[in-house]
């Protein structure tokens, strides 16, 4: 299931809007709604009620659950009385199409006082407690909503497969996936005789494939160069390769931790731990490097992820020469890259994934670097067409014991959940 909307965020707001509280929200919205699906809604509608920050003129109520509880008995009675008769039901129903409006009342209200709380998509599940020809009363997470009865059925709809799902389902568990020379940007790769390995979830399958990229670990990778950008323009920031260069090493060796441990060894260990946390949750995991040495350069790993995964997480630690742990950060897209394709069409996804991973890491108690994120012109970013992030789980001074890696990969796994709305 794909959550196109920040569903959970909206549920919180839905709590505020259930019942008569909706009436007092007039004037806050900057949205309009046309018809009873969101497909024809204005751009403003997409952003409706997503942030309380929109309510800056002081006329808006504090949208908290407490507000509903504070309704006067008279107000509550008036609301109850206004609710039309429903045939009592107790059944599970499924939404039959995308972008169906979920309303706070059994009536279509458009314009500034629209009662659309969020939109539901094909296959979303609700408990129906009341039926009428026009509207059904449904419950989700103990909140009551109303949806046009035309768009609900007790029959679960066939879910259309996404491209990546179709691709993933065509592979067996344990499949070795190499670089297909017909894939876009494949010809920018110089080292591509190796294979990525796909691990498929055995239960609770989500139909989501996460490409996990243990940074470095390609022998001979630093003696070959590849173009930094698909349009062959020079790099806009420094890094392993300096700004102004048009070519960079195909895969660098990586740094050594201050205790002498090679970064590539730790990234592989962390990648395997992350895989072992994602699989039981139902994610398929594409290990772009599954052993000490994979003959796939950064371009090849990126292009394979583009074509066989829904996101790409490259694991690194920073070689910054420092003697103290600086914490985690991700490498964001520098402004100078944002107009070049495929970056222009994808960098916002990269940032959403990076922000999600940092949120997950925070939840796990990991230290976050104060300057996160760090804009960096990376080969990975320049060729990625799926959400793609280089996450630095610390630097050469960071602890990399098993217990620390366990906490960090727990954070990354939580970040994947956050990104996919799970």
Residues near Zn ion, by CB under 5 A: 215, 254, 316
Q: How far is the CB of 254 from Zn ion (least distance, A)?
A: 5
Q: Which is nearer to Zn ion, 7 or 329 (CB)?
A: 329
Neighbour-count burial of 111, counting CB atoms closer than 10 A to its CB (0-12 exposed, 13-18 middle, 19+ buried): exposed
Q: Which is nearer to Zn ion, 19 or 215 (CB)?
A: 215
Question: In the complex with Zn ion, which residue's Cβ is closer, 119 or 382?
Answer: 382
Nearest of 305, 294, 293 to residue 211 by alpha carbon: 305
C-alpha closest to that of 396 among 229, 296, 299, 266: 266
Q: How many other β-carbons are positioned within 10 Å of the β-carbon of residue 103? A: 22
d(Cα 96, Cα 12) in Å, to the nearest integer?
Answer: 24
Report the residue closest to Zn ion, judged by CB. Answer: 316
Instruction: Specify the residue, 105 or 215, whose C-beta has the smaller distance to Zn ion.
Output: 215
How many helices (H) does the chain have, and how many strands (E)? Answer: 10, 17
Distance of closest approach, residue 390 Cβ to Zn ion, in angstroms: 8
Shortest Å distance, C-beta 119 to Zn ion:
41
Residue nearer to Zn ion on the CB measure, 316 or 350: 316
The answer to whether the beta carbons of residues 384 and 326 sit under 8 Å apart is no
**CB closer to Zn ion, 254 vs 360:** 254
Q: Least distance in Å: CB of 309 to Zn ion?
A: 20
> Could you tell me the CA-to-CA distances from 7 to 67, 105, 292, 355 in Å, in that order?
21, 18, 40, 17
Least distance (Å) between residue 48 CB and Zn ion = 42
Strand 87-95 relative to strand 125-131: parallel, antiparallel, unpaired? antiparallel
Specify whether the CB–CB gap between 152 and 165 falls below 8 A. no
Considering the complex, what minimum distance in angstroms separates the CB of residue 365 from Zn ion? 23
């Amino acid at each position: 299931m794909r959550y196109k909307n920040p569903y959970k965020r909206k549920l919180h707001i839905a709590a505020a809007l259930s019942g008569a509280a909706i009436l007092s929200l007039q004037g806050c919205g900057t949205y309009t709604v046309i018809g009873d699906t969101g497909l024809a809604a204005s751009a403003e509608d997409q952003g409706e009620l997503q942030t309380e920050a929109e309510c800056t003129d002081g006329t808006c109520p504090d949208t908290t659950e407490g507000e509903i509880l504070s309704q006067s008995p008279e107000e509550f009675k008036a609301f109850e009385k206004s609710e039309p008769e429903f045939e009592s039901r107790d059944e599970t129903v499924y939404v039959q199409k995308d972008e169906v409006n979920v309303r706070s009342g059994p009536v279509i209200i458009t314009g500034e006082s629209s009662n659309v709380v969020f939109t539901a998509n094909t296959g979303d599940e609700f408990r129906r407690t009341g039926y009428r020809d026009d509207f059904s009363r449904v419950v989700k997470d103990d909140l009551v909503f109303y949806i046009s009865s035309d768009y609900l059925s007790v029959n679960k709809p066939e879910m259309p497969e996404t491209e990546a799902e179709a691709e993933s389902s065509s592979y067996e568990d344990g499949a070795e996936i190499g670089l297909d020379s017909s894939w876009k940007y494949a010809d920018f790769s110089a080292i591509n005789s190796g294979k990525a390995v796909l691990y498929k979830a055995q239960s609770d399958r989500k139909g989501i494939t996460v490409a996990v990229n243990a940074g470095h670990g390609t022998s001979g990778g630093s003696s070959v160069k590849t173009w930094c950008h698909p349009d062959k323009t020079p790099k806009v920031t420094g890094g392993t390769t300096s700004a102004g260069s048009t070519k960079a090493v195909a895969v660098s060796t990586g740094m050594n931790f201050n205790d002498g441990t090679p970064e590539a060894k730790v990234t592989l260990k962390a990648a395997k731990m992350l895989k072992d946390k994602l699989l039981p949750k139902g994610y398929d995991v594409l290990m772009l490097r599954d052993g000490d040495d994979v003959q796939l350069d950064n371009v090849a790993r990126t292009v394979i992820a583009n074509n066989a995964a829904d996101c790409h997480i490259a694991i690194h630690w920073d070689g910054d020469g420092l003697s103290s742990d600086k914490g985690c950060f991700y490498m964001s897209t520098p402004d100078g890259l944002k107009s070049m394709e495929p970056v222009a069409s994808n960098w916002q996804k990269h940032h959403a994934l990076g922000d999600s991973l940092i949120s997950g890491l925070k939840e796990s108690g990991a230290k976050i670097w104060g300057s996160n994120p760090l804009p960096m012109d990376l080969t990975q970013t320049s060729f990625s067409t799926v959400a793609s992030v280089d996450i630095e789980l610390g630097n050469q001074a960071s602890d990399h014991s098993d217990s620390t890696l366990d906490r960090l990969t727990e954070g990354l796994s939580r970040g994947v959940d956050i990104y996919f709305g799970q």
